[in-house]
Structure 1
Amino acid sequence: MEQSNLVKIISNYGSRLWSMVSVFVFIPLYIKFLGSENYGLIGFYALLLGIISFADSGMSSAVIKEFSQESKTNYKYTLFRNLEIIYIILCVLISGIIFFSAEFIVKHWISSQTISQRDLVYYVRLIGVGVTTQLISSLYFGALFALKNQVRSNLLQLGWSFSKSALVFVLFIIFSKSIELYFIWQIVCNVFYIYLLRFFVLRQLNLEVSTTPLKILFRKLPKHIAKYIGGMIFIAIISSINIQADKLVTSSMFDLGTFGFYNIASSLAQIPVILIAPLIAFAFPLFSKFSNPIPKENEHKNLVVFNKIFYLTNLIAIVFTVGIFFYSKEILLLWTKSAIPTSIFPAITFDVKILILGSFFLALQFPLYYLLLSKGKTKYTIFQGTIQVLVGIPLLYFCSKKFGLFGIPIPWLLINISAFVYLFIIVQKKYLDFANVHFYTRILFPPLIITLLFNFLVYFCYQKIQFAFIAFIAFSASISLISSVLYFNKQSKNNVFSFKHLYSFPHE
């Protein structure tokens, strides 16, 4: 089982690490091949995808939650087909809305110095098709993932991501360096990816029933799932607003070039979240499995899973957050080849620092948030998200007007700190008694203290030498990770050089 867990976690990281690598490798190439304003349109694609993600409405997480529990195969198939129909209808509607409102979006939202309004309208319509076909893939991915096909689903995602981000350059070389070609290729990759995911989902379900054909048992979603999705609709809308608000403001206040550079800062700051997502993808089915209070030992198993996932989340997130925070200027210069204008470079560097601190606190929310989801509890997140919008949006407007690019990321940091504290208190008081002395002295604070200490010392040395900053980052990260695990092992009375306990989880 330990090996199985390790294989699942590694496979989860495969596609995520590729996503992170592709961000570093391909963004400078996009700017080189297409120009900064066309890259701004790619950033707009990501922004629009984030905004319409509310359409998922918890359907993909509902599939993972239900498929992870002991349910009959025909029940899973029926649930899958019902959600599939709802998803397709929603995506067609959203694509239609974007298509017919493209002129309005271009006129009131997007500003370009080099791209004609007519071309912008056409590109927005292509983006509408691209983001909706990408969105629906999350349902099929979640279904295949929860059917204990984590390795296969991750390999498919990796191939899809590689095709979208890397193979498009082959088309640029063969045909033309065109943003139109980029968006058409995204659509082609999305459609092929959906076909493969759906094929493997249905094949796996057919294998489970073996000789008898799959049957649809009901045409209406069960009440508990409808209630869960209903709560998730509001959460998704609120989350979409909170996560994308800074980009919405930047894209409307500044030209596409400046928005593209801010999007670079945002992409860099998302690294802690990208690295934690595979852990949470692994943990959510376990949380769901052990969310049932019967048998009684499930509560203890949930506590074990939570503590390990939170420790790994904290350890990985803090190491990368601190490293990028200290060396943000050097990373940006290396990454963009000095493409960022000197007039806005200090602001973009500052934005990276503030955004990545906010992303760190967002990453720490994941174990808490998904534990609540596994129990079907959405009301706390709804309350949290509502307060964040009511406070965060006016604060964002004030900061952006008062401080320009320097002020835009500040609300992101503040709302994520407050959200982490709120979810921490709710989970501790109502659902899982985890915050004991052991938690604070072994899980929460030691990785933070150890990482800050080593990075301060190493960065001080770097300031004196000013040479090969990547080596200093790698050394700081390595020694912080190793020292934190050694300290944890010593405090937990494990073998000091043992690592198996980090990925050994209760049996599924």
Structure 2
Amino acid sequence: MSLKRNILASYATQIYVTLIGILILPMYLKYMGAEAYGLVGFFTMLQAWFNLLDLGLTPTVARETARFRGGALDALSYRRLLRALQVIFLAIAIFGAVLMFGFSGLIANRWLNAQTLPLAEIQLCLQLMAGGVALRWMSGFYRGCISGSERLVWLGGFNAFVATLRFVGVLPVLILIGPSPTIFFSYQLLVALIELFGLVAKSQSLFPAIQPDQIIGWSIRSLFIPIRSVLQFSLTIAFTTSAWVLVTQTDKLVLSKFLPLVEYGYFTLAVLAASGVTMVGGPISSALMPRMARLQAEGDAAGLLHLYRKATQIVAVIAIPASLVLAFFAEQVLWVWTGDAIAAAQAAPVLRLYALGNGFLAIAAFPYYLQFAKGDLVLHVRANVMYILLLLPTLIWATWVHGAKGAGYTWLILNALYFFVVPLLVHRRFHKGLHRLWLGKDLLPIFFACSLSAWMLSFFSFSSHSRFFEFLQLISLGLGTFIFGVIAIFLARTARKIIAKKMIDRVKAV
């Protein structure tokens, strides 16, 4: 398959799935109510926490499939590895589903704080969630087989189809049958089943045939030996995945205990809106990391640093305006998005904090790309361990005392702290003098220009009774802040050239 087609298909699918999820979710709030929407947020959080059980297996499936296609594995060894991984995936799926099914009553009674939904209905929803999460977990195995086979065009189309079923297809069901959470999660379970069947069928068609006299085997020995060779890689990936889940999902888990479901629904809405800031860096990082690794391998240190700094500016000039617009105009953004004035007022304070925190996070990711290119992730691992050790107790205390706002302040402060400390250490380790250029010349002009423009625009009244006109006004604000950031880049470059020329002229005059 063409690499270009695969990349385009992946980007198109990612954009479509992300947009459809963001645009449709407020409809759930409208038809199901805030408390039931809180259950939807809890369901999303559960799927993320289930990734802790992944142990790096999903990336391993894709990697070993790619290695087989490259000739590093023969068909029998590959099929034996697939069977061993299938058994592990199935065992984890059953374990997770049974565990959640068994504790559904306890979670409904002791963990979630429902006010209007009957406990029996919540327990049934949790049991349906258990089945849906387990089925989607199994789908990850077959998705890894397909992506490792580089059938990304087919996979992108299938993912878009499933996302349409999951997000859009449920709306007619809620309208025609009833807007109860039980119906919603029953439908999601059905979609997860359809997704699994589709991926299994495609994967089976890609599995290589083996000779009739060759036996894959079901013995413990035949299942364990193939896993042993990929264990180190899986555990390395597992740490990164686990750290990311702990960093991004702990607040949601803690708040699901401390907040009433209605408030948890508003919190979920705010976090989802703020996630738009971090999405800016996704496409950039996918293209940036392999290119930086190649430049490092070629010994082109100057090219590596040039690309690193330019990419930082590209993300900054998009992420900083996005986070500032969401922070300064949080309530207007939420009202335009949901059409619900109450939800907008409730979620706006949390959105402001998470948007600013995500702005720091989007830019603080760049030192990781530099470490990845250098092949040295020691600082990244240590920084994440320290971050988690700070996050967990601080978040629990702040949430207990201040609720969702406490979680927002924790997210903002810790991400700001990470931004000011970790890049400094990384830059000092690999390129002395880089941090002054990266922070002072590449980022600060953009930050000051965008902050000043957003602050000035916040004094103007943009009130409107039309969501469409309010949307146009917000787009204008975002574009204006973005343009200020771009201008700041060019002005900073021009100013540096003028100052440098004057200094050279003075030296010559002496």
Q: Identify the TM-score tier after normalising by the shorter chain.
A: 0.7 to 0.9
Q: Tell me what 2:357 maps to.
A: 358
Task: State the alpha-carbon separation in 2 of the partners of residues 298 and 152 from structure 1.
Answer: 37
Q: Deviations over 1:437-474 (max 9, x none)?
A: 66446643444344334333433444699994422332
C-alpha distance 398-89 of structure 1, shift in aligned 2 (>3 A): same
**Which residue type is aligned with residue 414 of structure 1?**
I
Q: Does the CA-based 8 Å contact 1:246-1:408 persist in structure 2?
A: yes
**Which residue type is aligned with residue 155 of structure 1?**
G
**Which residue type is aligned with residue 477 of structure 2?**
S
Task: State the alpha-carbon separation in 1 of the partners of residues 449 and 272 from structure 2.
Answer: 26
Task: State the alpha-carbon separation in 2 of the partners of residues 94 and 283 from structure 1.
Answer: 36
1:95 shift after superposition: 1.3
C-alpha distance 309-411 of structure 1, shift in aligned 2 (>3 A): same
C-alpha distance 218-258 of structure 1, shift in aligned 2 (>3 A): closer
**Aligned residue among 79, 88, 93 for 2:95:** 93
1:132 shift after superposition: 2.5
- Tell me which of the two structures has the higher relative contact order, counting C-alpha pairs closer than 8 angstroms and 6 or more residues apart: 1
**Which residue type is aligned with residue 60 of structure 1?**
T
Q: Tell me what 2:392 maps to.
A: 393
Q: Tell me what 1:169 maps to.
A: 171
Q: Tell me what 1:503 maps to.
A: none
C-alpha distance 222-132 of structure 1, shift in aligned 2 (>3 A): closer
**Which residue type is aligned with residue 89 of structure 1?**
A
Q: Does the CA-based 8 Å contact 1:228-1:378 persist in structure 2?
A: no
Task: State the alpha-carbon separation in 2 of the partners of residues 457 and 8 from structure 1.
Answer: 43
C-alpha distance 306-135 of structure 1, shift in aligned 2 (>3 A): farther
Q: Tell me what 2:473 maps to.
A: 472
Helix, strand or coil: the match of 2:407?
A: coil
1:376 shift after superposition: 7.0
Q: Does the CA-based 8 Å contact 1:365-1:420 persist in structure 2?
A: yes
Helix, strand or coil: the match of 2:267?
A: helix
C-alpha distance 134-375 of structure 1, shift in aligned 2 (>3 A): farther
Q: Tell me what 2:503 maps to.
A: none
Helix, strand or coil: the match of 1:249?
A: helix
**Which residue type is aligned with residue 325 of structure 2?**
G
**Which residue type is aligned with residue 256 of structure 2?**
S
Helix, strand or coil: the match of 1:15?
A: helix
1:335 shift after superposition: 3.1
Q: Does the CA-based 8 Å contact 1:12-1:282 persist in structure 2?
A: no
Task: State the alpha-carbon separation in 1 of the partners of residues 14 and 107 from structure 2.
Answer: 31
Task: State the alpha-carbon separation in 2 of the partners of residues 359 and 93 from structure 1.
Answer: 34
C-alpha distance 376-226 of structure 1, shift in aligned 2 (>3 A): farther
Deviates more, 1:60-69 or 1:267-276: 60-69
Q: Deviations over 1:84-130 (max 9, x none)?
A: 44333222211121111112212220121222222222111111121
Q: Does the CA-based 8 Å contact 1:12-1:279 persist in structure 2?
A: no
**Which residue type is aligned with residue 167 of structure 1?**
G
**Which residue type is aligned with residue 277 of structure 2?**
P
Q: Tell me what 1:256 maps to.
A: 261
Q: Does the CA-based 8 Å contact 1:272-1:320 persist in structure 2?
A: yes
C-alpha distance 355-4 of structure 1, shift in aligned 2 (>3 A): same
**Which residue type is aligned with residue 36 of structure 1?**
A
Q: Does the CA-based 8 Å contact 2:336-2:470 persist in structure 1?
A: no
C-alpha distance 307-387 of structure 1, shift in aligned 2 (>3 A): same
Unaligned ranges ≥5, structure 1: 494-508
Task: State the alpha-carbon separation in 1 of the partners of residues 44 and 155 from structure 2.
Answer: 22
Q: Tell me what 1:228 maps to.
A: 233
C-alpha distance 63-422 of structure 1, shift in aligned 2 (>3 A): farther
Q: Tell me what 1:122 maps to.
A: 124
1:428 shift after superposition: 3.0
Helix, strand or coil: the match of 1:153?
A: helix
Question: Is it true that 1:321 corresponds to 2:312 in the alignment?
Answer: no
Q: CA RMSD in A?
A: 4.2
Q: Deviations over 1:228-280 (max 9, x none)?
A: 33244344444333322222232212221111111111111111123433443
Deviates more, 1:243-252 or 1:352-361: 243-252
Q: Tell me what 2:109 maps to.
A: 107
Question: Is it true that 1:454 corresponds to 2:459 in the alignment?
Answer: no
Figure out how many residues of one structure are paired with residues of the other and give that number: 483
Mapping of residues 28-177 of structure 1, within 5 Å: 28-63=26-61, 71-72=70-71, 74=73, 77=78, 82-145=84-147, 147-177=149-179
Deviates more, 1:127-136 or 1:275-284: 275-284
Task: State the alpha-carbon separation in 2 of the partners of residues 171 and 213 from structure 1.
Answer: 51
1:351 shift after superposition: 0.9
C-alpha distance 157-51 of structure 1, shift in aligned 2 (>3 A): same
Question: Is it true that 1:412 corresponds to 2:411 in the alignment?
Answer: yes
Q: What is the aligned-residue identity percentage? A: 19
Q: Does the CA-based 8 Å contact 1:231-1:382 persist in structure 2?
A: no
C-alpha distance 447-410 of structure 1, shift in aligned 2 (>3 A): same
C-alpha distance 473-339 of structure 1, shift in aligned 2 (>3 A): closer
**Which residue type is aligned with residue 448 of structure 1?**
F
Mapping of residues 258-297 of structure 1, within 5 Å: 258-283=263-288, 290=294, 296-297=298-299
Q: Does the CA-based 8 Å contact 1:280-1:366 persist in structure 2?
A: no
Question: Is it true that 1:349 corresponds to 2:348 in the alignment?
Answer: yes
Task: State the alpha-carbon separation in 2 of the partners of residues 460 and 213 from structure 1.
Answer: 78
1:302 shift after superposition: 6.0
1:53 shift after superposition: 1.7
Deviates more, 1:434-443 or 1:145-154: 434-443
Q: Does the CA-based 8 Å contact 2:445-2:492 persist in structure 1?
A: no
Deviates more, 1:449-458 or 1:90-99: 449-458
Q: Does the CA-based 8 Å contact 1:73-1:205 persist in structure 2?
A: no
Question: Is it true that 1:247 corresponds to 2:252 in the alignment?
Answer: yes
1:390 shift after superposition: 2.8
Q: Does the CA-based 8 Å contact 2:21-2:167 persist in structure 1?
A: no
Q: Deviations over 1:1-36 (max 9, x none)?
A: xx966x666544433433443344323321222222
Q: Does the CA-based 8 Å contact 1:65-1:285 persist in structure 2?
A: no
Q: Does the CA-based 8 Å contact 2:9-2:152 persist in structure 1?
A: yes
Q: Deviations over 1:471-493 (max 9, x none)?
A: 23322333454565577689899
Deviates more, 1:181-190 or 1:44-53: 181-190
Q: Does the CA-based 8 Å contact 2:27-2:338 persist in structure 1?
A: no
**Which residue type is aligned with residue 36 of structure 2?**
N
Q: Deviations over 1:153-178 (max 9, x none)?
A: 33332222121000111222343333
1:199 shift after superposition: 4.8
**Which residue type is aligned with residue 173 of structure 2?**
L
Question: Is it true that 1:384 corresponds to 2:386 in the alignment?
Answer: no
Q: Does the CA-based 8 Å contact 1:61-1:142 persist in structure 2?
A: yes
Helix, strand or coil: the match of 2:112?
A: coil
C-alpha distance 305-215 of structure 1, shift in aligned 2 (>3 A): farther
1:356 shift after superposition: 1.2
1:71 shift after superposition: 4.3
Helix, strand or coil: the match of 1:113?
A: coil
Unaligned ranges ≥5, structure 2: 217-221, 495-510
Deviates more, 1:418-427 or 1:480-489: 480-489
